[in-house]
Amino acid sequence: MIIDLPSSNTSAVNRKLVELRESGGVFALGRVLTLVVVTDDGPSLERAVDAANSASREHPCRVIVLARGQRRAAARLDAQIRVGGDAGASEVIVLRGYGALAAEDAGAGMVMPLLLPDAPVVAWWPGEAPASPSEDAVGRLAQRRITDALSSKNPTKAFEQRRRDHAPGDTDLTWTRLTHWRAQLAAALDVPPHDEVTGAVVAGEAVSPSTELMAGWLASALGVKVKRSPSAQENGLSLIRLNRPSGDVELARPDGRTARLTQPGQPERLIALARREVSDCLAEELRRLDPDEVYQEALAGVSLVTRGRTPVKV
């Protein structure tokens, strides 16, 4: 069910939520957090809502979407409430602000009256994010702040901003996309022989924040020299090679879908390692509300990585 409240205000939205709760049951109870999504009005809004709805099946929550409209229009707030089949396991409140209400600093004032009491707040920017999320008006309301450098117009610039302005509670979906890669590498190193890693090569397309983070994570976690090289494939992270005296451990993904794991004394294995959906990454990030210290170490480790110019064949 979708209920439109044109030219409204947050008080009217709250009243409508209470009315729906009294007439339709307890759909607003049992929520574990409030997810605030900051995006622009248009197709990106529906994609973000779909991802939030999917994640809400694992984490029932109230989703508040701040959809920034035209700034040159007269000041107006159009609200929309989605419940039932249109909201997954959550309730979705879409706030479309126009004019002065489309400004970045106006969002926090619209969100505060709608936050669930005594529940943590997570802020998510599925597209362009502020340079310093922790200092943003909405970001200051949240325990966790989720960005996605890959979805920015300039992923390289956005990634450098994440590194420069990182604060405890910040995370980025370019890091979450590496979870399965990191798990495969950890499992491979758990198999004998247990000799130490002496160096590593990480290859990926030229603009790939995830490749940079993987190289930084290996440099910080292993304390060895890591080379970040380009790859002829244009599918993000393509190859990780760990050098060991007994032979290299190599995890390569030439087609962007299936990876090949080779290591001494073991048969070659094929592993399903396609790019993860945004909804899966979002659901993973909502499982924890404490600072991600490993992500912070990976960001710091990027400065220890050396650069290679010769493309690596995958």
State the pLDDT at residue 23.
76
Among 147, 167, 199, which residue terminates a domain?
147
Mark whether 131 and 69 lie in a shared domain: yes
State the pLDDT at residue 305.
97
Residues 6+ apart with CB under 8 A from 242: 185, 188, 189, 197, 199, 200, 218, 248, 249, 250
Report, as ranges of residue numbers, the positions in the chain whose pLDDT lies below 70.
24-30, 86-89
Residues 6+ apart with CB under 8 A from 93: 13, 17, 62, 63, 64, 65, 79, 80, 81, 82, 114
State the pLDDT at residue 183.
96
Looking at the domain assignment, is residue 314 inside a domain?
no
Mark whether 48 and 115 lie in a shared domain: yes
* Full residue range of the structural domain in which residue 89 is found: 2-147
Looking at the domain assignment, is residue 136 inside a domain?
yes
Mark whether 16 and 138 lie in a shared domain: yes
* pLDDT tens for each residue of 228-262: 999 987 889 999 999 999 999 999 999 999 999 99
State the pLDDT at residue 30.
67
In the numeric block, which tokens belong to residue 224? 């060895």
What torsion do the CA atoms of 279, 280, 282, 283 make, to the nearest 10 degrees? 110
Model confidence, pTM: 0.93
Beta carbons of 193 and 272 less than 8 angstroms apart? no
Mark whether 48 and 116 lie in a shared domain: yes
State the pLDDT at residue 313.
82
